[in-house]
Amino acid sequence: MSDTPVTELAAAKVNLTLRVGPARADGYHPLDSLVVFADWGDRIEVRPAPGLLLTMSGEASRALAPDGSNLVLKAARALQAESGVTDGAMIRLHKQIPVEAGLGGGSADAAATLRALNRLWGLNWPLDRLAEIGLALGADVPACLYSRPLRMRGIGEWIDILPGFDAFDAVILNPGVRVPTGPIFKAFDAADPAPLADSWPMGDNRLDWLRGERNDLEAPAMARHTAIAAALDWLRGRDGVALARMSGSGASCYALCQDRAAAEAIAADYDGFAIAVRLEGGAR
């Protein structure tokens, strides 16, 4: 085991597109999503300790409990159990991603914990092996382990990395409402959705392709939370915005911008939580 602290970025996940099908017999929804990661998010630091301990900082951490229900500790215990490691770790989570925000914060934290402990404990397992553990923790955890532009299908277990995907200057905005995922999927199911259709092939112009895609959870989320619709209207009215859409099951929205200066100006102009980011692959 390394004596040196190990740090990992838990990058915010953004669903540029999200197609969803009706629930399967097991209750899970099949999906097809183009996922990218920001150069911003939470941060995990791990260092040697006799047992597993978790401390948290950052305003967003106030909404979390540092107990067995926390995905960070669940991830650490799952890796211990799978690897047979008896060493512990002091885990520090600095949380900036809002909770229940459609940005995969909990999944990103779990994934960063698996990557960090994999290094601290000298396991050196490949990401594919860590992803098998991650899927049991949450459908988004495998994608967050890779933290690179990718296509996510199935319930999150089918991952296709997209090398050379264009990076975007963007704004991530959260309108200040927490949106639990369950009720949004329930509202989606109530509308008797059609079977999941494959997205059409991506051409050379990624932005044009994105404009032709959608987020199937956007309408049911906006119906339950008018603040999401207001946030999207606000973004779409800003100069320099090429595309605005909700991420995941909400409430966070993103805007793809013409350049970094436009993204920073839009973020500064919003009366609430907004940050200029680069959307590509986030793990550092």
What positions carry a catalytic annotation? 13, 140
Q: Which residue has the tokens 């199935």?
A: 154
Q: Are 251 and 163 in contact (CB under 8 A)?
A: no
Return the HEC string of 170-197: EEEEECCCCCCHHHHHHHHHHCCCCCCC
Measured CA angle at 188 (ends 222, 142), to 5 deg: 95
Q: Are 152 and 35 in contact (CB under 8 A)?
A: yes
107 is an annotated ligand-binding site residue = yes
106 is an annotated ligand-binding site residue = yes
Q: Which residue has the tokens 């770790």?
A: 89
The two structure tokens encoding residue 20: 């969803």
User: Three-class SS of residue 12?
Assistant: strand
108 upstream amide cis, omega within 30 of 0: no
100 is an annotated ligand-binding site residue = yes
98 is an annotated ligand-binding site residue = yes
54 is an annotated ligand-binding site residue = no
- How far is Cα 259 from Cα 271, in angstroms, rounded to an integer? 21
Between the alpha carbon of residue 232 and those of residues 169, 183, 264, 270, the distances in Å are 17, 20, 17, 12
Give binding residues as ranges.
98-108
Binding residues for ATP: 98-108
